[in-house]
Amino acid sequence: MRPLGDDTGPAIEVRGLRKLYGQTVALHDIDFEVSKGEIFAVLGPNGAGKTTTVEILEGFRPREGGTVKVLGEDPFRADEEWRARIGVVLQTTGEFEDLNVREVVRHFARYYPDAQDPDELIERVGLAEKRNARASKLSGGQQRRLDVALGIIGRPEVLFLDEPTTGFDPSSRRDFWQLIRDLATSGTTIVLTTHYLEEAEQLADRVAVIVGGRILDIGVPQTLGGRDTEATVVSWMGPDGLESVHTTAPTKFAADLHARLGGEAPGLTVHRPSLEDVYLQMIGADTAATAALASAAGVTTEDS
C-alpha cells in the first residue's frame, strides 16, 4: 500500500474486476488504469456495467473478484481519510432546496479537514451572482455547478462525475465543459460517465467502451475502435445524380476529382467517421456475441 500523498503510479488501477448479482454477471474480469490528472470517460448502453464499475471505484459496492485501487487504497475498505481525497457528483441531489448556495457550500465544507474557502469556490464554479439564491431557484446548469462545488469542496484528487450534463442546453453544456477542463488542468483526475458522445470527444483524454460487462476497447477518442483507419466517404453531384466513394485518402481524392471535373465538384461533402459512428458500430457488433456467450454460459449480463 502506498502512503497517502504518494505521487507514484496511476490514480486508479483495476485488474480482473468481477461482479455478480446472484447468477447475473455484471462485470467480466475488467482491466484498466487511469493516470493522475487524466479525464477518463466510460461509455456504454444502459445495462452495460458502467454504474457498477464506478460504484465499485467509489467504494459503494463490493466485488466478487479482482483487485481495485484508487489512490493506492482498496475503495471498499478505505477509511475516512481516503474518502476525503475523492469527490462524487451524482446525477441528482436536490436535498437542500430551502438553503441558499452559500449556506449549502459552507455546510459541506465542515465535513473536510482541508476544505476550500466556500466563497472562493462559489466564484470558481461561476455561481458568485447566485450565492444568496435558494438552491431550488437555480437553473439546471447552475444546479449542476453547485453539485460540482460540493464534489470538489474537499480538494479531491479523484472526481467521479455521473452523467454531469443531462438536461443541459447547448450553451450551458459548453460552459460546464470548460469547468471540467479547468479542474483537470489543476491536477484533478476525473472519471466521467456520459451518454453524450460529443461530450466524451470534447473532454476525455481516453475513452472506455463497456458492453455486457466487458470492455470492448480503450483509447483516445480519435483512434477508438480503429476510427483513424476507417474509410472516409466523399460525395458529390455527378451528371446522373449523387455519387460517392469510400477512401482512406480523401484529400488526394478531392484534389483529383477537382482536376478531373476542371473545377469545383457540385455538392461536395467529406464525411469522416465520428466517435458516435464508431461507438454505434462497436456496441451493435458486440450485442449478438455477448448474448450468445451469456446463453452458452447459462447466465445473463446486465447492470444493476
Give the domain CATH number at 34. 3.40.50.300
Query: Domain containing 248: what range?
Result: 231-272
Same domain, 62 and 168: yes
Q: Are 200 and 194 in contact (CB under 8 A)?
A: yes
Same domain, 221 and 282: yes
Same domain, 161 and 256: no
Residue 129 belongs to some domain of the structure: no
Same domain, 240 and 265: yes
Same domain, 203 and 238: no
What is the rounded distance in angstroms from the CA atom of residue 161 to the CA atom of residue 245?
A: 41
Q: What are 105's three cell numbers? A: 457550500
Residue 69 belongs to some domain of the structure: yes
Gyration radius from the chain CA atoms: 23
Total number of domains in the chain: 2
Residue 113 belongs to some domain of the structure: no
Residue 121 belongs to some domain of the structure: no
Residue 289 belongs to some domain of the structure: yes
Same domain, 206 and 282: yes
Same domain, 237 and 220: no
Same domain, 267 and 166: no
Same domain, 221 and 290: yes
pLDDT tens across the length of the chain (304 residues): 334 444 568 999 999 999 999 888 999 999 999 999 999 999 999 889 999 999 999 999 999 999 999 999 999 999 989 999 999 987 665 677 789 999 999 999 999 988 999 999 999 888 999 999 999 899 888 888 898 899 999 999 999 998 888 777 888 888 889 989 998 999 999 999 988 899 999 999 999 999 999 999 999 998 888 877 777 888 999 888 898 888 888 889 889 988 988 888 899 988 888 888 888 888 886 554 444 444 444 444 444 4
Q: Are 10 and 33 in contact (CB under 8 A)?
A: yes
Same domain, 210 and 281: yes
Q: For residue 241, which of 271, 272, 266 has the smallest C-alpha distance?
A: 266
Residue 287 belongs to some domain of the structure: yes
Other CB atoms within 10 Å distance of the CB of residue 238 = 14
Same domain, 218 and 235: no
Residue 101 belongs to some domain of the structure: no
Same domain, 218 and 284: yes
What is the rounded distance in angstroms from the CA atom of residue 26 to the CA atom of residue 47?
A: 9
- CA neighbours within 13 Å on the CB side: how many for 33? 7
Residue 175 belongs to some domain of the structure: yes
Give the residues across from 14 on adjacent strands. 32, 68
- Indicate the residue type of 202: Q
3-class SS of residue 272: coil
- Main-chain dihedrals φ then ψ at residue 182, nearest 5 degrees: -65, -40
